Structure 1
């Protein structure tokens, strides 16, 4: 697979020269710009958290919880839950924009679908969950990381503080002289690159959660099933197979018969001890076997790479032929039935072809997962999106092939991307 510049912070962290690139500064900018928003949201949660702690302490000590406090907590909790899907709209929109600091992959905006949709769609509640994540967990983690940074700063400047007569109390020692504090300062300097990478890891974790919760693609409204008539498809496939077989029989078969006859006549004219006898015999046998081979191809068309490499290897071979970087992840714990394997191969081939021709993508990803009851294929790209089965035969052709295998195809391709094609194929043992 072709290497390319990292498109998001998680990729950049795996590069040896990460610390010397601009990605650490982008991570730092992402963390610093998170502080004001997370701080405001955490204050809102503290209004309810402080009375909750008081009520918990009273219950643990066996004292009755005041009725006013119980009413306040109940009303406050219901109010927060009721307002979260609405408050998350501007926060989610801003966070999708801000995510560009650590992730160059476009995260499309989720259109406003009405007030009812804010309480009935999975997308809205995922945005609300991100609101609680940003106001609840993020401040606590940031506070812990800030304490580590301050402790490292104290270690570095401890010789100067001790030299000025200040008492420096560390967790494990209390140096009395500047000389005693020097080893601590050395440890602090050595910890700087560790914290530099840790800041990147922290930004990566937050960005990953943000992308997972704020993407609109997996929602039921965005993933729409492309269904076709299974009976019609099977009949059409069988009719096409018979047409090809008939064409071969009427066109190629007479020529092969004539060729075989001519070679047989030539063998009769050539003495058995002639040097040309053996090549003619081999050619005669090959001509007779060619029609058998063509019939086998028509009966069940199957790429040779599937036989030689298996599904995962064949898909990786397809990925290597695409003009953009394609990552392949395969989790196949058992052999896949041949019909399912062939269908999956052509699905990936057609989907990657569409990505290369139409998506204007910079990278793509293929996942093959054995769920225990079936095979799930997911092809995603960071292209411009907007794929529509009504505008061409490519996607409907895929749906035809999948439906003939008793599977289903689902598509998520909002304008601006990303595009996700998910195919679920049953594997009946």
Structure 2
């Protein structure tokens, strides 16, 4: 089981500066620079006609029509080829996104050259090139100026003095003593810059996922229909009552009956007419004990009590035939009903993946926010899951609805399939 979280969530944690996330954000930012530089060249070519016109107007000279026409043709060619050029860049960016976001990114299959210009995927990847070549350099350049300014403040005591003077926007520093307060302010600003860098990278990663996470047409999450008439009003209280009654009432009496039957068998000779029926009754009582024990455990899985939700889901993943990766971000306690419902959701969904999906691997993600526990199970199988065909999703939606949650499904033909469950966690 792997327990982790994305950069955006990590920024909200108090120990962010002491974690590996600032270094992961730095790695993402550094590897962005060559890609953004190359994309910026294309953006400059596209903007060249406007730059030519602006320069001519600023100098009061006529615009060179021939040069403008040539630049416009080149710019239009660059824009027209953007969907094609965006394909390799998008492949690299989907891979790089794993540095700051562990959620999988759905990549489209190659559908031919014409599809690059006739599908939304190709043009979204072209739009990402525009973001990478225009907005990213501007944002990174602004942040770079802030870093240089902070570095100048910190180095002020060594740079000031003699004939050297440090000119700030609001003051002029003539001596090392005058530079010390600014140096201290610069040191105090370093953590803020680290957070700002993380926020900048998180925004870039969010835009990357928005444009490059390929969701085929018709794959929007849709809520699975469930019948409120089938729900039990006091589900959790009734569950606890049944569990307590079975465990404290029926189970001890059945255990006593089994022991008495066993003792009776010892007192009855093997050749007695009642020996065989008594042995059969004893064996049936022992089988019933095992069945009852399974029912009691099934009401609330013992793994939850012993291990907690994250580890219990990890245990389910370890026993799955299909390789399953678990990502858990459970920084707050989860109510018992929500915990039990989430466990059954994962258990039933992984069972469906094994039986019906034909998947090579699956991923489970548990995220605890202020008001929700979000459970996501994704697989790379054939897709086409339909609650109306009896895959158990409707019954699972009933269980989720009993906890006041909702179940949503995305399963286009050809996959992938995503089951998302949102369970409210009231304080």
TM-score tier after normalising by the smaller chain length: 0.5 to 0.7
> In the alignment, does 2:11 pair up with 1:13?
yes
2:376 to 381, 392, 415: 381
Cα deviation, 1:127-146, whole Å, max 9, x if unaligned, reads 11111111110001111000
Q: Are residues 410 and 19 of structure 1, via their aligned partners in 2, closer, same or farther at CA, if it must alter by over 3 Å?
A: closer
Q: Are residues 84 and 420 of structure 1, via their aligned partners in 2, closer, same or farther at CA, if it must alter by over 3 Å?
A: farther
Q: Distance in 2 between matches of 1:186 and 1:413?
A: 60
Q: Are residues 355 and 112 of structure 1, via their aligned partners in 2, closer, same or farther at CA, if it must alter by over 3 Å?
A: same
Gaps of 5+ in 1: 231-236, 238-298, 309-319, 328-347, 368-378, 403-407, 423-429
> In the alignment, does 2:140 pair up with 1:142?
yes
Return the offset for 1:306.
8.8
SS at the partner of 1:185?
A: helix
Cα deviation, 1:247-276, whole Å, max 9, x if unaligned, reads xxxxxxxxxxxxxxxxxxxxxxxxxxxxxx
Q: Distance in 1 between matches of 2:221 and 2:192?
A: 45
Cα deviation, 1:399-420, whole Å, max 9, x if unaligned, reads 8999xxxxx97525877x6725
Q: Are residues 321 and 63 of structure 1, via their aligned partners in 2, closer, same or farther at CA, if it must alter by over 3 Å?
A: same
- Residue matched to 1:361: 363
> In the alignment, does 2:418 pair up with 1:419?
yes
2:233 to 293, 304, 310: 304
SS at the partner of 1:381?
A: strand
Return the offset for 1:43.
1.4
SS at the partner of 2:109?
A: coil
> In the alignment, does 2:105 pair up with 1:107?
yes
Tell whether the 8 Å contact from 1:411 to 1:421 is kept in structure 2 after alignment.
Answer: no
> In the alignment, does 2:134 pair up with 1:132?
no
Q: Distance in 1 between matches of 2:19 and 2:214?
A: 31
- Residue matched to 1:153: 151
- Residue matched to 2:40: 42
Q: Are residues 380 and 110 of structure 1, via their aligned partners in 2, closer, same or farther at CA, if it must alter by over 3 Å?
A: farther
Deviating more after overlay: 68-77 vs 142-151? 68-77
Q: Distance in 2 between matches of 1:19 and 1:131?
A: 31
- Residue matched to 1:215: 213
1:333-412 superposed matches below 5 A: 354-357=348-351, 358=353, 360-364=362-366, 381=376, 383-386=378-381, 388-389=383-384, 398=393, 410-412=410-412
Q: Are residues 15 and 401 of structure 1, via their aligned partners in 2, closer, same or farther at CA, if it must alter by over 3 Å?
A: closer
1:190-339 superposed matches below 5 A: 190-217=188-215, 219-220=216-217, 300-304=229-233, 324=313
Cα deviation, 1:360-407, whole Å, max 9, x if unaligned, reads 43315799xxxxxxxxxxx872643325347998775658999xxxxx
Tell whether the 8 Å contact from 1:350 to 1:398 is kept in structure 2 after alignment.
Answer: no
Q: Are residues 159 and 112 of structure 1, via their aligned partners in 2, closer, same or farther at CA, if it must alter by over 3 Å?
A: same
Return the offset for 1:81.
2.1
Q: Distance in 2 between matches of 1:160 and 1:366?
A: 48
Q: Are residues 9 and 401 of structure 1, via their aligned partners in 2, closer, same or farther at CA, if it must alter by over 3 Å?
A: closer
Deviating more after overlay: 351-360 vs 88-97? 351-360
SS at the partner of 1:113?
A: coil
Q: Distance in 1 between matches of 2:36 and 2:188?
A: 30
Tell whether the 8 Å contact from 1:99 to 1:207 is kept in structure 2 after alignment.
Answer: yes
Aligned residues: 309
Return the offset for 1:104.
1.5
SS at the partner of 1:304?
A: coil
What CA RMSD, in Å, does the superposition of the two structures yield over aligned residues? Answer: 4.5
Q: Distance in 2 between matches of 1:95 and 1:196?
A: 23
Q: Distance in 1 between matches of 2:367 and 2:383?
A: 20
Cα deviation, 1:64-99, whole Å, max 9, x if unaligned, reads 543224423432332122111100110000011111
